Chains A and B, each alone.
Chain A
Amino acid sequence: MRNDDNIVDVQNLHITFGATEVVHGISFAIQAGETLALVGESGCGKSVSALAMARLLPFPPVCTVEGKVLFAGQDVLSFSASRLRTLRRSGIAYVFQDPAVALHPNLTIGYQMCEALQGSTADRKKRAIEGLALAGLREPAALMKRYPFTLSGGMQQRVVIAMALAREPQVLVADEPTTALDVTIQAQILDLLVRLQRKMGMAMLLITHNLGLVAARADRVSVMYAGHLVETGPVERVLQEPAHPYTRGLLDVVPRLEGHAQPLEGIPGMVPSAGEDLAGCPFASRCRYRQDVCEVQNPCLQPRHGSDGTCAVACHFPLEGGKHRAG
């Protein structure tokens, strides 16, 4: 999909650690003001793909990144050190799973907030307080003097979000920002992110393994499996009528509020380990609709019928209406 509105446009991204390729040529793009969810099981390559966007991965020979990462039309992979600094300062901001990692334990919240900002001391302090308030933190002025360990996990994550947004980034990467938190706080933090994202017109890459979190909050979703993109499209379509059996599987493992007459089946088997030599479809060994061709030929990502190119799936026998066609 080529589009000048794309603030981020990742094309044919390959990521290799040592001799092991862990991301095998994925592409995705995000427009300003849009939220793309990147979904998949642990180890499928979500975080490394997002880190590649700001060149935050180790240098070669430890890690090599190939393909194109266009940020506002410019290829990040060929950026000089100074342009990279600018990109990391105000282009792309990250919020990670564990807020404790992003906060220095021995510095006050106020110090760390001000460090993220530019301008005169008084001005930075004023904007730091505003930022904390915007992130839904009460008594922000008093909070400035506190240390991270005196805050609950949910409050710490709000501070991290306030710090990330203080730089007014064009793209916010939220990498499982709520996995370490309980569901109530999870919902609050995600709603906060979405609200601020809309208000500031940022693009957001929301990384998670839970499709339930995606349903209300993302515009489009891309599903990754073992370093491949296997399905992508608008949230309504993908979640209501998944075409890839893996997406169907991910939907079926989330317990539903209305209860279950039958036990959840889960996805049998395990994710293939990185570097395992797979000739066919990476999901074949776990797929109940597998046929001979699936074992020998890896399906490429192809537009879904009747989706005007908005949906794509990598499957030899995509589901229709969310179900497998018998025969």
Chain B
Amino acid sequence: MQDRSVAEPLLALEDITVHYEGKNRPAVQHASIQIAPGEITGLVGESGSGKTTLGLVAAGMLRPTTGRVLFAGRPVDMQERAGMRQHRRNVQMVFQDPAGALNPRMTIGETLEEVLYVHRVALDMRDRAQRLARRDALLDAVGLSSHLISRYPHALSGGQRQRVGIARALAVNPRLLVADEPVSALDVSVQVQILNLFKKVNAELGQTCLFVAHDLAVVRYMCARAYVMEDGIIVEEGYCHKLFSNPGHPYTQQLIQAVPDVKKGLEQRKMSLFESD
């Protein structure tokens, strides 16, 4: 049941090519992906395969050299300012390094208030009281206790900072969240908390998400469908349960081999013991 198209994708990237200036090879070549509303779609590949580049295109933060971006069926005009601004509010990004993505001179309360203030008209939150209530609701939604409101980013743990990053992205009610390796910098025990937060936001708010990762087991845990990217090219796509139990492309197999899996690791030990005998 590897259907190649999603019935009504929220976001579709069509035949996207991105050629950075001064590079011989395009970072992304003829990539097409579709993101179904209400789902978490995975994008997986090695470092340098072009995942971030494609994520930036999806978020309207990078203009592709060629190709089209369709949001809710309508082409996004990358040249037109008002349309772009609208698109950038519809699509929010969460980054890998939560420290680098937050203003070090703002408390986390101020960080959230600022986003809400900037978008007060679109959000219909002209009253400060409304915004403060929303701020508290956001902190609650991402599992941050309210006594952290006056802390600066440096006084938070990596996991707490990532929660702030997610709260800030959710603040403007985006239709799509692009999460670019949001857990790769975190400890395994914190990683699972953040993964579960994304799942909760998806289940409770119906938040659509493009989830970028290099660890296939993480994508397997998070996503129903996923795209596999190698050297700028989408080499395979499908439902995760099939994609990862029965990969069609050698590159996907290679990624599976690399997953740090306890069970597989213990099996490998047995095999290498035989070999050395």
Contacts and interface: CB of A to CB of B under 8 A. Distances in A.
A41 B187 contact: yes
Interface string B178-207: 000000100111111101100100000000
Interface residues of A, number: 41
Contacts of B221: 255, 259-260, 264
Interface stretch (B13-21, B68-76, B103-111, B256-264): B256-264
A196 interface: no
B187 A42 contact: yes
A266 B217 contact: no
B266 interface: yes
B102 to A, nearest CB: 19
A184 B46 contact: yes
A56 interface: no
Nearest to B183: A255
Contacts of B220: 255-257, 259
A126 B268 CA distance: 35
Contacts of A209: 187-189
A70 interface: no
Contacts of A106: none
Contacts of B196: 263-264, 266
B217 A255 contact: yes
A165 B263 CA distance: 30
Nearest to A178: B260
A236 B266 contact: yes
A153 interface: yes
A210 to B, nearest CB: 5
B48 interface: yes
B261 A215 contact: yes
A42 B193 CA distance: 15
Nearest to A236: B266
A30 interface: no
Interface of B: 46-48, 157-158, 184, 187-193, 195-196, 199, 214-218, 220-221, 240-241, 244-245, 254-266, 268-269, 272
Interface of A: 41-42, 152-154, 181-188, 209-217, 235-236, 239-240, 249-251, 253-260, 263-264, 266-267
25 contacts: A42-B158, A152-B48, A181-B47, A182-B214, A183-B255, A184-B255, A185-B46, A209-B188, A211-B262, A212-B261, A215-B262, A215-B263, A216-B265, A236-B266, A239-B266, A250-B188, A254-B260, A255-B192, A255-B217, A255-B218, A259-B221, A259-B240, A263-B199, A266-B192, A266-B193
